[in-house]
Structure 1
Amino acid sequence: MTPLRQRMLDDMRMRNLAPGTQDHYVRAVARFAKHFNRSPDELGPEHVREYLLHLIRVGASWSLYNVVRGGILFFYRVTLNRKDWAFGEIACAKNRPHLPVVLSREEVNQFLDAAPDLRHRAILSLIYATGLRVSEVAALAVGDIDSQRMVVRVGHGKGDKDRYVMLSPKILELLRTYWRAYQPKDWLFVGEAPGRHLNTRTVQLACRDAAQAAGLTKVVTPHVLRHTFATHLLEGGTNLRTIQVLLGHRSLQTTARYLYVSMEAVTGTVSPFDRLDAAVTSPAPAAEVNRDARALRWPT
């Protein structure tokens, strides 16, 4: 590891940036330097601008653009202390929000049934049962499962905040079956490296494989399971404030987007047309209906 990379990692740790953010920022600077085949401390604002325009030309998403921009600017402003450079002109892209992908209950059943083994089924079922982020479920300790209080303790979640989520009796039964089979000691889901917890990439690949085995056309990721958890809670009558607490959202506005994907919230809303006076909506004479049907057929 180069001294520059180590210094950047130290700077991010001192500011308590999330491990995922640290990884994204370091990768962004590495790819930026590789693009010009030069050390990043030899590059300047015009190189940053040129590289970001390159990302736009090759079709990178706006969310990736913003992550790369954030990583490069952190490197120059903090690690190299070049605060006098005119980086303010390199604007943050407006990221158009998209509705999250959500699975139906039938699709969730298909998906979990297609998990290749008990370990993967326990991991994926736990995400759907609790709405945990992939980094949170991967780093769970055995002691975080509190069967006395029927809660799961989520330590050091996003923003370094701790919280509790519910532990359902069915998921507890599955976790006990998993524990008897694998006998984890410290981490609930042990990684390949000794003494380390599961890698988030392993969970993401397990999601992909289970979705393909289930024959689902939707792209399923751990975050899709989290979206599905929240949407199904909303459709079951749980209020938004409770869902916000369970998900660990800072803003209620973030949680409110699930109103847009809840089918029960949509189909359960009465149209104002249905409240019109009966005389307005009374059927037309049969002859008139037949004439109109011949003139305009409903699209199939």
Structure 2
Amino acid sequence: MSVSLFKAGTVWHYRFQIDGKRVQRSTRETDRQRAQRLAEQAYRQAKLWARDGREIPTVRALVAQWIEIHSATASAAHVKVVETFGRLHLHDLGDVMIDELTTDRVELARVRHLETRAPVSANQWLKVLRLLCNWAVRRGVIPSVPFRVKALKVQKKPRATLPVRLTRAWLAAVDAHEGDRDGVRTAVRLMLGLGLRESEAITARWEWLDIECRTYTPGRTKGREADPLPVPEWLLDYLMPMRKPDGYVLQKRDGRPYRAGFTRSAMLAANQAVGAPHITAHRLRGTFATLLSRSGVPPQDIQRVLRHKNLTTTAAYLEVDMQTVVHGQARMAHSIGFGLPHQSSGAPVANSTPQTQQ
């Protein structure tokens, strides 16, 4: 059954039946052609969107639905990203039905976003919008994501890792910044020694530490894994004097857990104190992965320790050791037959022969 028009006075109305229910509305139009277009649009929307009596939401309503359903199961950080998207970054899309999110509309909204944000932020914005639309597809609200927009190409930036030569001084600077407060001091060692995320350090518990096997099994992880991690000797020695039978490893003096970002100020102060690069909780995890790689640990083993779902994610954590490249270049030059003696100017000269003193 298709939509039908009828006139009541000078105004055109439409009616149709879908999912066993009769729908009748006014177009508020006196012109038949405009009324016909409105009626056909309403019928198409109802036919596409009606699922068990539910109509498709606007983007703003979809954000609210996603948060309501996922707030109890998704991580707080994930929920915050979607909440921030809905609160600050809808860019005229808030009242648009998600079936009407055309490629043009989404690209124009991204242009608005780029007026005040960097390209990497625009890619994150697009990722959240796709997340919401794909969720609507899985629920059967719409048949497919209605737009096709590619992510922007972004210039990658060098990422900081904590230099080995500065590590002990950096830890001492963190300790000096925190004084007699053990929370941050212990957290940075858990992240450096086990590669824990900050959230995993916050939720660390003593009963998950197996002294006999010298392993620690994170019980609350991003991917819901529960894999035992070997605990290095230096970290075990640090933890033993404060060990308890159970409970949180990190606790404030009033017994409450720490909040996300609680290590940031101490890390930034330590960076400045010892001249380290911009080390944060995430880059401390990257340092852990990079040092394992430089020690000869295979990438697939690092992937398991970091608890990544695929090796591509792990590879993004591993920074290139340029000193290894320097040694490799020297070996290449030697095998080719290039001799690179240094003259008084300090500049290497290829294939030169030392002059015999007259």
Coarse TM-score class (shorter-chain normalised): 0.7 to 0.9
Counterpart code for 2:87: A
Q: What TM-score does the superposition give when structure 1 sets the normalisation length?
A: 0.75
Aligned in 2, Cα 1:186/1:61: closer, same or farther, shift over 3 Å? farther
Correspondence for 2:261 among 201, 210, 223: 201
Counterpart Cα distance in 2 of 1:122 and 1:96: 35
Counterpart code for 1:29: G
Match of 2:89, SS state, is helix
- 1:109 is the counterpart of 2:168: yes
Counterpart Cα distance in 1 of 2:63 and 2:255: 25
Following superposition, the deviation at residue 112 of structure 1 comes to: 0.8
Q: Deviations over 1:78-114 (max 9, x none)?
A: 4697636864233333455544321211222222111
How big is the alpha-carbon RMSD for the aligned residues of Structure 1 and Structure 2? 3.6
Which protein has the bigger strand share? Answer: 2
Hey, what does 2:284 align to over in structure 1? 225
Alignment gaps of 5+ in structure 2: 1-59, 341-349
Counterpart code for 1:208: L
Alpha-carbon contact 2:195-2:285 (below 8 Å) kept: yes
Quick check: which has more Rg, 1 or 2? 2
- 1:275 is the counterpart of 2:275: no
Correspondence for 1:89 among 141, 148, 157: 148
Counterpart Cα distance in 2 of 1:261 and 1:202: 29
Alpha-carbon contact 1:76-1:82 (below 8 Å) kept: no
Match of 2:223, SS state, is helix
Counterpart code for 2:248: W
Counterpart Cα distance in 2 of 1:30 and 1:7: 14
Hey, what does 2:302 align to over in structure 1? 243
Correspondence for 1:255 among 314, 318, 342: 314
Following superposition, the deviation at residue 156 of structure 1 comes to: 3.8
Q: Deviations over 1:213-238 (max 9, x none)?
A: x2425111011111111222222232
Counterpart code for 1:163: D
Hey, what does 2:293 align to over in structure 1? 234
Counterpart Cα distance in 2 of 1:138 and 1:19: 13
Counterpart code for 1:83: I
Correspondence for 2:248 among 187, 197, 215: 187
Matches within 5 A, 1:160-179: 160-179=224-243
Following superposition, the deviation at residue 165 of structure 1 comes to: 1.7
Aligned in 2, Cα 1:101/1:9: closer, same or farther, shift over 3 Å? same
Hey, what does 1:68 align to over in structure 2? 125
Match of 1:220, SS state, is coil
Deviation larger for 235-244 or 3-12 = 3-12
Following superposition, the deviation at residue 54 of structure 1 comes to: 2.3
Counterpart Cα distance in 1 of 2:318 and 2:85: 34
Alignment gaps of 5+ in structure 1: 288-300
Alpha-carbon contact 1:234-1:262 (below 8 Å) kept: no
Counterpart code for 1:9: I
Following superposition, the deviation at residue 259 of structure 1 comes to: 5.9
Hey, what does 1:297 align to over in structure 2? none
